[in-house]
Amino acid sequence: METELRRMEVRTLLPGRQALSEIQAETVRQFKMKKNRPPEQNSTPAVFPSSLTKNPVTERSAQSGSTIVDIFAVAVIADRKNRLVALAAAKKILSSRQGGTWIALTVDGGQFRLKAEKLVRNTGWQGPLTFEIAVNEKGEQFSAGIHPVFPDWINLAGVAHANFPSILIDIIQGTKFKDIIQAEAGRMMVRSAVDIVTDLNQFGNISLTGEYNYDGQ
């Protein structure tokens, strides 16, 4: 299908191989289960893996055996001397299966500041860095991932008065920062999708050029 769409000069986002493999594996698994069940139990429709996961995650932590109730993502920027310059923390309320953020709320990053400073200092880090913290029902924190990039909710940090790309440019240009810039708590991001119903050729033109000509319509 992708080849045909490209031939018509239509660019669109198709499911990746990993997503298709997961759906296929789940379909095969449920088909086998249905085949082995008595006929009277085969009326239940197949349930495919959900695309989005709502927090609390309610998953068991491999480290402590306790239940994970919250996931926080912490984004930082370090200067050339491995010092923390900016920090933004967000609670991930709704995430995709691959960890992408769909709903997030900025929180006070002070609780993660010491952890961020230690991470930057011990790794000799320079530039942007994002790490995730899982919190169980006892309030204990566990590392859930480290990514050497800006977060996927970078616009949320900007709205919360921590414009990370701008801060990084300032660092490159030699600007000195007296205090650590922290994102304001209480700002929310909701990622949404819009259905577009239109003619295939018009959609192809928009995808190819980013423009739509209303002349003659």
Residue-level pLDDT at 130: 95
Q: Which helix (H) or strand (E) is 189 found in, with range?
A: strand 188-190
Please report, in tens digits, the pLDDT of each residue of the chain (217 residues total).
556 655 655 544 455 566 556 666 766 776 677 666 666 555 555 454 455 555 544 444 444 556 778 899 999 999 999 999 999 999 998 887 777 888 999 999 999 999 999 999 999 999 999 999 988 888 888 888 899 999 999 999 999 999 999 999 999 999 989 899 999 999 999 988 777 777 777 777 777 777 766 664 4
The residues with which 77 forms a beta bridge, in sequence order, are: 86, 128
Residue-level pLDDT at 53: 58
pTM of the model: 0.64
Whole-number Å distance between alpha carbons of 89 and 9: 41
Please report, for residues 9, 54, 156, 188, the alpha-carbon distance to residue 130 in angstroms, rounded to integers and kept in the order given. 37, 21, 14, 18
Closest CA to 51 of 102, 11, 115, 8: 102
Q: Which helix (H) or strand (E) is 111 found in, with range?
A: helix 110-123
Residue-level pLDDT at 58: 46
Strands 181-182 and 84-96: parallel
Structural domains present in the chain: 2-49 (no CATH), 52-190 (3.30.470.20)
